[in-house]
Every structure is written in structure tokens, then in C-alpha cells.
Structure 1
Amino acid sequence: MRCRWVVTIFVVFLIALIPVPTVADTGGTPGYGHVFPAPDPLDPIDVPDPFPASLPERIQTRLFPATAVPQPTFAPVNENRVCVAASDSVLTPPNGTQLYVCDGVDDEREINDAIVAARGGIVELLDGTFRCSDRITLQASTTLRGQGSANTTIQIKAKPGSTGYLPVSIGAPYVNVGGFTLRGNGFIMVTRSHVRVRDVHATSVDLDGNWCLAYGNGMFFVWVAPPVDVIDDVEFYACEAFNAHTHGFNMNQDYNDRVTRATTNIRFLDCRATGCGYGVAGDPGITDPTITSTNQSKSEWITGFDLHEWQDLVNCEVVNCVATDNWESGFHLEPGARYSNPPGPRTISKNIVFRNCISSNNGQRNTYADHFFMSGYYLSRDTHLQDCVSFNNRNCGYYVHGGANTSFEGCTDDGSTYGWKVCKASEEISIADCTCANNLRWALWLAFSRGIDVTGFRHTGVTSDRGFQSILGWYKNESAYQLPVTDSSFEITAVGNGMPIINEEGERNTYVLNREGTPTGDSVVAGFSATPFSGEAPLTVRFNDLSENATLRWWDLGDGNTSSERDPVHVYGAPGNYTIRLIAADNLRHDVVTRTDCISVEGPVTASFSATPTLVPVGAPVRFASTSGGNPHDLSWEFGDGGTSIEREPVHVYSTAGTFDVSLMASNTRYSDTRILPGLVKVFDVVTPSFTVDRTEGPAPLEVAFTDTSTGEPEHWLWDFGDGNTSVTQHPVHAYECPGNYTVTLTAGNAFFTNSTTLAEGVIVTAQAPSVTAVPGAESSPVRLGTDGLYDDVNGNGRSDFADVVLFFNQMAWIAENEPLEAFDFNGNGRIDFADVVSLFNRT
């Protein structure tokens, strides 16, 4: 085509050279108080709404602050300007400008040639449509700009048999891209630092209205992969992803080499993600015939803004952005797990800020009954929201999972199932001056968390569930996550619902709970009737709310089921006695009525029971408990020793030893059954060991006869005589060969019980007396009067006195010659001498 000058108004790019910023310090992995839990795919949510609700007037007319101010674009390294004309371009470049003209087939060739020719300058795409079949690759310091998203279109569609992974690839730094609409298989892919993307609209729908497969992980995709470890300073301004088969905006990293990577200083300003994700063929509920294996979304987890996955994320701003009608959540930041094998370290999350954003109608088209996310904002750590709005999101307005140091200020939710949900090891979460309205279940759903600070919180028209407008601690009866909220404070004002504001559970929590409104009419008085009260399973019971002045009610039907209907009809499938609880309320007050065992449901009786313990000594209690099925009303116990009971959990004491059969007969008005457990309880006597000895002292060798006097009918004995010898005879006789003091222990028992008794130093064995003869001048032979083996009575007159000293002195030489030394060596010096006379004198 001929070039001619036409005055045109181009999209103005402010180009200024700015210093290259340094990579932010990502620091170390922050600590967190609990083991990080994996996502739970079974959150309770409501039936999806396939038709997105209209935004309320207050949100439609909501004025954003002044347009967010973007960072300057990067200056070209030269003054080169190259233009590229589409086959249908009307505009022409200035005279002297290098021009590449496309023919509407493989137009990426001319565009890529122009980028090379610019050598770091500006490539200007004129108006019209560029039809491409392969990727467009940017070079360093290059600006690629069209005439605005309404005037310039790039359609990238893969040729048959070729890959559909066809990005506008920004794999070099200091690149500016913008001013066009991107259609088909194409997407913006950023793999280097220092990038500006402005006024780009991207969709999976081609110019003919056909939906194209998405191969990139986002229509705007920041991907940190080798050889790069950090992508820094990237900004998306006035960009929009719409009708997309993948995430609108996505940031992630390659972790195949197990190297942690980061995105830092990333900004999203005045961006939108609308209609991202339409399901995968084979998903439950997919009825759209256009969703097939060759034309489907990239996955069943598509979100509007998926900003934090496996990479570290440091310093991220999201300002004046809108996410609406996306398959899963509007804004999504993962809690931090790298699900590799083995799992990698938890990701770093620092200083993530949302200001003046709107997230609405997300998850409402999702065909899954119980998908996990489907929230306005799904968040985790060090994330701070200011003046953000959530509307009619299918699960939560704001969902904090495994979060820490996250705050909400001046945020609102309207119409989501839950306003705020905080759970699974979250801590230090602040919710200040926030509001919610018209939530389908709870304003606040908090569990397994600590340090939650709720101040100035106001909610209006919350439907309530489980009898409360907000709930603490409960988590679908899942033991891993149904843990209390502790060390937290709650300042809440409720409007338009008189149900209890919150269940005040958890340690070290404080509550300031207020209601706003003026009472009208008389107080609420809760009451109900039920028909019938009893019957055989399955039993259909009709409940009638007889409450006075109530406009709201909540029923706990006793079997885990609840209802908010006025007059619910419920079928009890299992026999049992069920306690019914009704909370009735108006817009400001409530009353509660509870009837214990109100409904009695019977079935065929199966008698069964337990006993603890079943092996006991005489006189010890045995606890029995009926575990009979069929809801029997009458019980008859026989304990085998003549004892009986009609209690449900009797305690019985057996007074004699033996083995006892136990039986239970259980019956209701229709059925009866008996269970007998033969030999269930074994009762034994308590053995108390004791014994006697025929002598406790004597010279070695000393023979002692032991007699067992134990009570309790022992069946076995073990004697320890203290000298290393033992016996298992009931009445043993034992000979001690050596002098010493011996402790004797008897262990006696039966088949069920063993006990011991000890006689400390109970047998004293002395040394054998040496052979002595009468000393000349004595009446008879010397005698030992003590136990030390010395013969104090030298003259044998039966006593120790001075006559013995005189005789010893006079016959000292004879004694030394004729008597055994050990019998008369009183001072123990090994000889007989005068010193022994002195010692004997002192002993008398």
C-alpha cells in the first residue's frame, strides 16, 4: 500500500528514563503458628446462580478515587520509530518512517521484523486487525504500541497441527506494550523485569466469535523460570481480560529444579477480569455444548486475578481493579504451599495491598456443588485491603486461609454466602470498620485461628445458620480444622436480625456486641409443637412454630440437621431420642426453647452392652453401659451373682470371687431382644501375703522353718531368703550357712493378682562358737553372754563380774596357750595380753 500522511490521535505513552530499581529483599520464610493445612475441597456453599446478579445501585454509582497513577514507561535507547500497517489499516505513518505492511496472513512476521529493525526503539502498530499464527517476541528496551484497544486488534490463532502456546512474549527488560486488543490463542507473557503493559484487552474469543483453547496460564501471565530467579518492577495499567478460557491475570514460577523464585514490585492498576473460566468438559453440571475437549477452559480452577501460586511475592499493589463473573474467585492468593514431592518450603508473602477494588458474582456459574474457592478475595499472609467491595460471590466475600498479619479496613460485602471466613491456622487478622449485608449464612465464619481483632464491624440482614449470625470454632465437624478461635476481640453491631450475634466460644476472647434498632411490639416468646412425638423409624415429624412475635427462626432437629423454615417436616431415619431446640427472633430480639428427648424414634431392638473393667478384685466396681440399637426404653440387667438393675449405665460390685455371666434384656413398645455374654466378668480375691518363722536368730549353720499365713487364696509363692537362695514351696525350711542379717521377702498370688511382703533383717545368723575348756581355778567352762563371739563369763558362773577379770589376769598365759584366740581377744589386737584384761574389765 502507498504511504500517505494522515493526522491521527495516538494513544500517548509518557516515556521517561527512570533508574533501574534493585530487587527487593525477600527475606526469610516467615514463621507461622501451626502446621500448614492443605486445601479442603468440600466447603459448604449454596446452589450456584447461573445468572449474575446486578450490582446494587450503591456499587454501580460507586466512584473510584482519581485514576491510579501509573509508573512512567521506559525510554527507548534510540530514536528509531518503525510502523506496521495491517491489511485493513486506514492510518498512515509520517513521511520518512520505516513501514512494514501486512497482508493478513502470518502478520507476526512483519511485526517481529519491525521489532528487530527498531533496535530498542518504538514499533507503532497502526489501526486495524493483525492476523497472526505464531508468537510475537519483544526485544530489550522496545515499545510496542497500537492505537488503543478499540482501534488495533492482534489475533493469534494456531495453524492446524501446531502448538497453541502463542504469547506476545516479553522476554527482555525495559519493554513497553499496549494499545491493542488480543484475541484467540494469544496472551501476554512476561518473563523478565521492568515491563509496562497498558490498555491491552485480551480474550479467548476470535473475530468470528469462536472460543479458542487457552495454552497460557493467564491472559496476562508473569512466569519466573530459569535462568531468571526474580522478576521485578512489572506494571499492568488499564488492562482487561474478558471471556477467557484461562486466568485473567496470573503469576507463578517454574519449580522443577526446586529453586525458589520471586515476583517483586508488581502493580495492577485499573485492570479488569470478567468472565474468566467456563469449565472443563466432563465437569459435573456442564451442559453448554460449546464446552468440549477441544474447546474448554484450561482447568476447573480459573480465577480472575491469580496473583500468588508457587513463587514468592513481595510488594504487590492492586488498585481500582474489578473481578466479576469468574469461574472460581475474583482475586486469589495461595496460602503458600509448594505441592511438590517432597513439598518445597512455604512461599514468602510480603506487603500485598488491595485498594478500592470490586469483586462480584464470582463462582456463580461454577457447576461444582462444593468447590473450595468461589470467593471475592481468597487471601493469606501480609495482605492488606482498603475500601474494597465484595458482592454476591458464591462462597465468601473475603476468605483468609492459613493467613497471618492480614488486615481489612473499610471493606464491604453484600450478598455472599459468608461475609468473612478466616480459618486453618490463621493468626493476627484485623477487620476494622467493615460491613456486610444480606449474607446467606454468616457474617463471620472463623475457626482454628488466634489473634483476630474485629472492631467497628456492622452487619445487616444476615440470614444466620446454626442459630447464630456469626460462628466461631465450628468447621463441618472436621477434627483437623474444627478448633477454637482464641485470644481475639469482637466489636460487632447487628442490624435487622434478632438472632444471637455470635457464639461466644474460645479462650481469652472479648466481646462487645450491640444491636441497632427500636423494638416494636411485644417480646418474642419461642414455642413449638411436634406431631407425632414418637413412632417407628423412619418417622416423619411435622414441627409447628408456635412462637409469638417472631419473624425469624432456626431449628436444631437433634440429629445433625437444621432448618430455618417456619414449620419444617423432617424424617428421622435412625432410632433414638432427639432433643429439639428452636431459636425464634424478630429484627432485634430472640428467645430459645429446648426440649430434651422430645422425639422418640423406635426400631427393631438389638441388645448389646459393654463392661469396664471385666477383670476386677472382690469389692471393686464394674461399669456397664447399654449400646443397644432400636432405642429401647426398658432395660433389665442380670449380673450373674444375683444382682440386677434397670438403669442404662449401672455400676455393680461383686462381693465374691468367680467368673460371672452377664445378660441384658432391652425392649421398646414394639420389640425386645436379649444379649448374654458368658464369663464376661472375672472377679478374684486380693492376696495379702504374710508368714511366720520358727526362729529369728542363732549361730551358723541356722535352720529356719517358714510358714505361709497369706490370705486371699494364693496359688503360687516365691520366697527370697536374702542370701541368694529362693523357694517356690508354700512352707519352706531353709538353712543359713554364713553369719549375717538377712531380709526375707514372700511374693504370693493367684491367676489375677500378685503381692509381696518383706521382713527386714528378720533372720540373724551368728558365727559358730569355738571349742573352749575350763580355765584352771574356774567352776566350769567359759560362757558367751553376748552375740559377738567373746567369752565374757571366764569362770563359767553364768555372769560377767570382777571375778572373771581376776581369773583372766591370773591365767592369762594359760589362756593364751590353751584357749582359742578369737574367744578371749577382747580388744581385737590379735593376741592375749594385759590390754585384754583392761577391755574385759570395761565390759563387766
Structure 2
Amino acid sequence: MRDKRTTKLLIAVFLIVGLIPIVGALEATPNTIVAASDSSAADKASAAYVCDGVNDHVEIQAALNALPSSGGVVLLTSGTYNCAGIIAPRASSTLMGEGESTTFLKFTNDGRINVDREYITVDGFHIQGSGYSSGVKWLGVMNIRASHAKIHNITGTADASIQAVYLLVHDPTVYAPTLEDVEFINCQAVDTGTYGFLHNAWGSTNMVIKNVRYDNCAAINCGKYGQFNPWITGFDFAELNDMDGLRVTNCLAEGTTESGFHFEFDPKVTNAVLENCVSRNNGQKAFPTKAYNANDMSTHYFGCGYYAPNCDVTFINCTAEGNSMNGFYTTNGGKLYNCVEKDTGIGRTDFSYRVPAGYYSVPSRSVNPSTVMENCTSINSRAFGLQVDLANNVKIRNFHLIDPVGYNGKGSSLGGTNGQFDNSEVSIYASGNRVETLVWAKENVNTVFSGQIVSDAAKPFVIEGYRTQNVLVKDMEIVSRTL
């Protein structure tokens, strides 16, 4: 049985061949059907190409090659397609299945999908890749290397022999212009040994990827079943590439080896927005067992819900829950509105070399404002709920710090752990009795505090430090939790 998309496709065919009069001079879009070896008899009867279960990419590619230069649609009916080679749709074409739970493409022998021409759409099937050779390991099961691509309704997985399920990469040997205008809608990477969604750029020209959109996509258990490397993330939006104009809405990252949503430290990221996203239970690998050393990669660790250093990125209504190191890591341009962090560091007990924080911004002083948080909440963080240090021009407004477990008796650190918290404003509403101090301000200069603390803690609000000066506390209320 075909789904609604297929029904619409067949209706379009009837319209095209003239069974129903058409007004206007619209050019017909040819359509070709491919059936799998295990497709139904009816599907095989309607197909122009019927696969035999071996090297099925050959029939699929033949169907794509048979489309006119103007493009068209190739439909893969329900069934399993065993592909031991590359599928490369032509420009302006659509490769469509009958749904992620009914149309399956299984790639072996370095097989994959290469979206190397403009205006390609892939829609409605499941991809699986395994057993890749070293010569192609830096690629993905699906590679998007040309602009104006639409990736819709795809579920994918891969073992640890290849770098990603979905790779969006500027490769100048394939496509020299700027890579831009790519969208992922209703796509998933599930139970992988590698990255879910990865952006990258090779070479030295046109390193910026522009105008990429994700909606209702998910990366689940990336790195749970083997590991391509120790740094596997769910979504990595900036690896070696710069990124301009990213929109991510209603997306989920869960159970990854490292961070759920990730931007590397060095790329330039501008005009990025993540809205209504959820990142939970990420940072599954163990904490380092020795102190940080820049030259010792075993001491490097992310483990964040959202990792976005030095990025012009805005988070709106995003949630981080149960991530191992930080819920939100944002510095030098991060803006957070109506975000919630809960249970950061849960399940971790040894903080000898890593101390979790729900919201982390260190250092953050190269732009003005450097970090903005409005109407954000930290709930039950297993160490600091909020840690902002080596910071200047920070705006924290209506922040709710709820019952942190704390570290060394402190529920938050504003300049406390590294020194310097200058020219900033903090409006904070803190509560809880599990720490001696809920709000710890140290080495502050020209900073204004307001809000409310509800606690029976011994020292609920501490301001200290040899360089501390010109700190104003106004409209601040401290209330006993029991009296």
C-alpha cells in the first residue's frame, strides 16, 4: 500500500498524461518507479525497474539517469534495497521512498548517497551504512555537497567505520560555490557508532556554509554502538567550516557520547538560532581521570547539552536535562531566552578533574554584551547551577536558581572560580538549602545585583575578593525558607 505522498504522485501522473484537463502551460515532471526484490507483486508490476536484491544501487541509479535534464521523481516502493555502491541523484531530481519504516536502503562496500548537484530532494526512506574502508571513512552515509538540497523524512544509522550518518560538507573538488540553502525536516540519526549530523568544510576557499535549516530532527544514541572517534556528537554544526544563518527548531539530541548540539571552538558562527530544542543525557563517556592538559587528548571533555563557544548563537525555549558536564556552554556572543537546565551532572560523583555547571560561560569578555541570559532556570544541578567567570559585560536577567547541590558549598559562581566578573548585571532568584552559599560573587567590578534568595543557608549571598569594587546590591531580598 502506498502512503499519501505516493497517492499524490500518482494523481500528478494522471494529470500529466492528460486524463484531467490542465489549465496553463506547465511542463510535466516525469516519474519512474523502482521496486525492491521483496516488494509486493503489485509494486513490481507497476515498476519500470525491479531490483534483484544484489547491487540494487545499479537499478536505482539507472532510473535516476533516465530522468530528463529538467529532473523528475524516482519512487522506491516499500522493501529493502541492498546497495553496494553509490547513488548520485541528478540535478533537480527527487529520490523518494514510501516511508522510513517501509523503504530501506542498506549500504555496504563503501555505498552511500551523494547529493552533489543542486536542487535535489531525498524523501521518505531509511538508510543504513556499514563496513566502510579507510578511503571513505571521513564521509557520511548521506553526503550533501551542493546547494538547495532538501532532506526530508529520512531515518539513518551507521556503524563506527564512517564519520557521520548525514554529512553536510563543502568539498571544492565536488562543488566550488558557497554551500547554502539546505534543509533537514523530520530526519533522524539513531543508534549509531558515529556522528549523527555533521557540518564540515575542506580546502581553503568558501569555508562558510550558509542558510541551513533543521526542523523536527533527532540524534539519538550517537556513539552508543561503537565509536568512530571519542568526540561523537548528535549535531555538529561547525567542525572546520564557518556557519552563517543556521535555524534549528524542535530538534532533539539524546544519549550521545559527547555533546548533543555542538559548535567547535575556532570556526566563526554568525546568526544562529536554536528554538524549542531538547538535549538530554548527553556526555555518556567517562570523565577524565587526570587534570586537563592541552597536549593530552584524554583530558579533553565536552559532555554538554549545548556547546557553543565564541558563537553568535541564540537559544530560545531550549531545554537541557541530565547532561554530564554542562547544560548550556555559551561564551562571547551567546544569548539565552526562556531556557531550562535540569539535573546537570546527575550520576557523576567524582569531580576531581571536572566540575559540572548547568550554565557555563568561561571566558566571556570579547564582545559586548558577552553573554545574555533572560528568564532562564537551573533546577537541581549536581554542582554549580550557574558559572560565569573571566567575564565582562554579562547580562543575567530574571535567572532562577533552584536547589543546586553545589560544589565546595557554592551553588553558583560569578567570578569565583577563575576571577573577574566585571561591568555586568545580575537579577537572580535563588532557593535551596543544600549549599552554604547560593550566590557567590568574587572579584567583581562595576556589577549590579538584584532579586531574591529564599534559603536557610548560613551565607546565602557572598561578595568577596581583593579586586572587588563598586558592586551595587539593590532590590535584593533574602528570606528564610522556614520562618
Instruction: Report TM bin, short chain.
Output: 0.7 to 0.9
Q: Does 1:244 align with 2:171?
A: no
- Partner in structure 1 of residue 438 of structure 2: 501
Counterpart secondary structure, 1:444: strand
Q: Per the alignment, do residues 525 and 264 of structure 1 end up closer, same or farther by CA in structure 2, a change over 3 Å counting? A: closer
- By relative contact order (CA 8 Å, sep 6+), the higher-ranking structure is 2
- Partner in structure 2 of residue 214 of structure 1: 161
Tell me if structure 1 keeps the 8 A contact 2:436–2:458: no
- Partner in structure 1 of residue 183 of structure 2: 235
Query: What TM-score comes out, normalization by structure 1 length?
Result: 0.46
Tell me if structure 1 keeps the 8 A contact 2:364–2:371: no
Q: Does 1:386 align with 2:313?
A: no
CA distance in 2, matches of 1:133, 1:78: 33
Name which of 182, 190, 194 aligns with 2:127. 182
CA distance in 2, matches of 1:77, 1:156: 35
Q: Does 1:419 align with 2:358?
A: yes
- Partner in structure 1 of residue 13 of structure 2: none
CA distance in 1, matches of 2:27, 2:245: 28
CA distance in 1, matches of 2:358, 2:7: 41
Tell me if structure 2 keeps the 8 A contact 1:471–1:503: yes
CA distance in 1, matches of 2:5, 2:250: 21
Q: Deviations over 1:340-378 (max 9, x none)?
A: xxxxxxx33211001100000001344654542100000
Q: Kindly state the Cα deviation for residue 487 of structure 1 after the two structures are TM-superposed.
A: 1.1
Tell me if structure 2 keeps the 8 A contact 1:421–1:446: yes
Counterpart secondary structure, 1:504: strand
Name which of 77, 83, 100 aligns with 1:126. 77
Please list, as runs of the form range in 1=range in 2, the aligned pairs for 1:95-134 lying within 5 A after superposition.
99-119=48-68, 120-134=71-85
> In structure 1, what residue type is equivalent to 2:97?
G
- Partner in structure 1 of residue 464 of structure 2: none
CA distance in 2, matches of 1:472, 1:436: 15
Please list, as runs of the form range in 1=range in 2, the aligned pairs for 1:439-838 lying within 5 A after superposition.
439-475=381-417, 482-497=418-433, 499-505=436-442, 506-516=444-454, 588=481
Q: Kindly state the Cα deviation for residue 147 of structure 1 after the two structures are TM-superposed.
A: 0.3
Q: Kindly state the Cα deviation for residue 473 of structure 1 after the two structures are TM-superposed.
A: 2.8
Q: Per the alignment, do residues 249 and 359 of structure 1 end up closer, same or farther by CA in structure 2, a change over 3 Å counting? A: same
Unmatched runs of 5 consecutive residues or more in structure 2: 10-25, 131-139, 290-298, 346-356, 461-478
CA distance in 2, matches of 1:393, 1:308: 21
- Partner in structure 2 of residue 751 of structure 1: none
Q: Per the alignment, do residues 514 and 116 of structure 1 end up closer, same or farther by CA in structure 2, a change over 3 Å counting? A: same
Q: Deviations over 1:174-207 (max 9, x none)?
A: 0110111111237111000000111100012xxx
- Partner in structure 2 of residue 200 of structure 1: 154
Q: Kindly state the Cα deviation for residue 13 of structure 1 after the two structures are TM-superposed.
A: 10
Q: Kindly state the Cα deviation for residue 404 of structure 1 after the two structures are TM-superposed.
A: 2.6
More strand by share: 2
Q: Per the alignment, do residues 462 and 367 of structure 1 end up closer, same or farther by CA in structure 2, a change over 3 Å counting? A: closer
CA distance in 1, matches of 2:480, 2:337: 27
Q: Per the alignment, do residues 312 and 125 of structure 1 end up closer, same or farther by CA in structure 2, a change over 3 Å counting? A: same
Name which of 358, 368, 383 aligns with 2:278. 358
CA distance in 2, matches of 1:116, 1:110: 10
Tell me if structure 2 keeps the 8 A contact 1:354–1:386: yes
> In structure 2, what residue type is equivalent to 1:423?
V
Counterpart secondary structure, 1:181: strand
CA distance in 2, matches of 1:80, 1:91: 23
Q: Kindly state the Cα deviation for residue 138 of structure 1 after the two structures are TM-superposed.
A: 1.2
Tell me if structure 1 keeps the 8 A contact 2:178–2:206: no
Counterpart secondary structure, 2:382: coil
> In structure 2, what residue type is equivalent to 1:314?
D
Q: Kindly state the Cα deviation for residue 467 of structure 1 after the two structures are TM-superposed.
A: 2.9
CA distance in 1, matches of 2:458, 2:241: 56
Tell me if structure 1 keeps the 8 A contact 2:2–2:98: no
CA distance in 1, matches of 2:373, 2:429: 13
CA distance in 2, matches of 1:355, 1:153: 31
Tell me if structure 1 keeps the 8 A contact 2:215–2:248: yes
Q: Deviations over 1:290-333 (max 9, x none)?
A: x8xxxx42110000000112212111111000000000000001
Q: Does 1:82 align with 2:32?
A: yes
- Partner in structure 2 of residue 567 of structure 1: none
Q: Kindly state the Cα deviation for residue 450 of structure 1 after the two structures are TM-superposed.
A: 1.2
Counterpart secondary structure, 1:113: helix
Q: Per the alignment, do residues 128 and 367 of structure 1 end up closer, same or farther by CA in structure 2, a change over 3 Å counting? A: farther
Range moving further from structure 2, 451-460 or 507-516: 507-516
Unmatched runs of 5 consecutive residues or more in structure 1: 1-6, 16-75, 159-163, 205-211, 279-290, 338-346, 476-481, 527-551, 553-585, 590-844
Runs of 4+, deviation exceeding 3 Å: 10-15, 91-95, 365-371, 586-589
- Partner in structure 2 of residue 372 of structure 1: 301
Q: Kindly state the Cα deviation for residue 259 of structure 1 after the two structures are TM-superposed.
A: 2.5
CA distance in 1, matches of 2:41, 2:287: 46
- Partner in structure 2 of residue 270 of structure 1: 216
CA distance in 2, matches of 1:260, 1:232: 11
Query: What TM-score comes out, normalization by structure 2 length?
Result: 0.79
Q: Deviations over 1:463-495 (max 9, x none)?
A: 1123321112345xxxxxx34121111111112
Q: Does 1:298 align with 2:298?
A: no
CA distance in 1, matches of 2:55, 2:44: 25
Q: Kindly state the Cα deviation for residue 512 of structure 1 after the two structures are TM-superposed.
A: 1.2
Please list, as runs of the form range in 1=range in 2, the aligned pairs for 1:136-175 lying within 5 A after superposition.
136-158=87-109, 164=110, 166-175=111-120
- Partner in structure 1 of residue 258 of structure 2: 328
Q: Per the alignment, do residues 14 and 245 of structure 1 end up closer, same or farther by CA in structure 2, a change over 3 Å counting? A: farther
Q: Kindly state the Cα deviation for residue 449 of structure 1 after the two structures are TM-superposed.
A: 1.7
Aligned length: 411
> In structure 2, what residue type is equivalent to 1:241?
A
Q: Per the alignment, do residues 262 and 78 of structure 1 end up closer, same or farther by CA in structure 2, a change over 3 Å counting? A: farther
Q: Per the alignment, do residues 332 and 587 of structure 1 end up closer, same or farther by CA in structure 2, a change over 3 Å counting? A: farther
Q: Kindly state the Cα deviation for residue 334 of structure 1 after the two structures are TM-superposed.
A: 1.6
Tell me if structure 1 keeps the 8 A contact 2:390–2:419: yes
CA distance in 2, matches of 1:264, 1:525: 52
CA distance in 2, matches of 1:364, 1:390: 14
Q: Per the alignment, do residues 192 and 91 of structure 1 end up closer, same or farther by CA in structure 2, a change over 3 Å counting? A: farther
CA distance in 1, matches of 2:314, 2:41: 46
> In structure 1, what residue type is equivalent to 2:438?
I
- Partner in structure 2 of residue 529 of structure 1: none
CA distance in 2, matches of 1:184, 1:225: 21
Tell me if structure 2 keeps the 8 A contact 1:273–1:323: yes
- Partner in structure 1 of residue 292 of structure 2: none
Q: Per the alignment, do residues 468 and 367 of structure 1 end up closer, same or farther by CA in structure 2, a change over 3 Å counting? A: closer
CA distance in 1, matches of 2:8, 2:421: 51
Q: Per the alignment, do residues 91 and 352 of structure 1 end up closer, same or farther by CA in structure 2, a change over 3 Å counting? A: farther
CA distance in 2, matches of 1:419, 1:105: 51
CA distance in 2, matches of 1:118, 1:214: 33
CA distance in 2, matches of 1:125, 1:460: 52
Please list, as runs of the form range in 1=range in 2, the aligned pairs for 1:431-442 lying within 5 A after superposition.
431-442=373-384
Q: Deviations over 1:243-299 (max 9, x none)?
A: 1121110101003xx334121110010000001114xxxxxxxxxxxx8xxxx4211
Tell me if structure 1 keeps the 8 A contact 2:401–2:431: yes
Tell me if structure 2 keeps the 8 A contact 1:268–1:321: yes
Counterpart secondary structure, 1:219: strand
Tell me if structure 2 keeps the 8 A contact 1:499–1:588: no
- Partner in structure 2 of residue 410 of structure 1: 338
Name which of 224, 237, 241 aligns with 1:307. 237
Q: Kindly state the Cα deviation for residue 79 of structure 1 after the two structures are TM-superposed.
A: 1.7
Tell me if structure 2 keeps the 8 A contact 1:196–1:236: yes
CA distance in 1, matches of 2:432, 2:231: 36
- Partner in structure 1 of residue 171 of structure 2: 225
Q: Per the alignment, do residues 587 and 376 of structure 1 end up closer, same or farther by CA in structure 2, a change over 3 Å counting? A: farther
Q: Kindly state the Cα deviation for residue 134 of structure 1 after the two structures are TM-superposed.
A: 1.2
CA distance in 1, matches of 2:102, 2:386: 46
> In structure 2, what residue type is equivalent to 1:502?
V
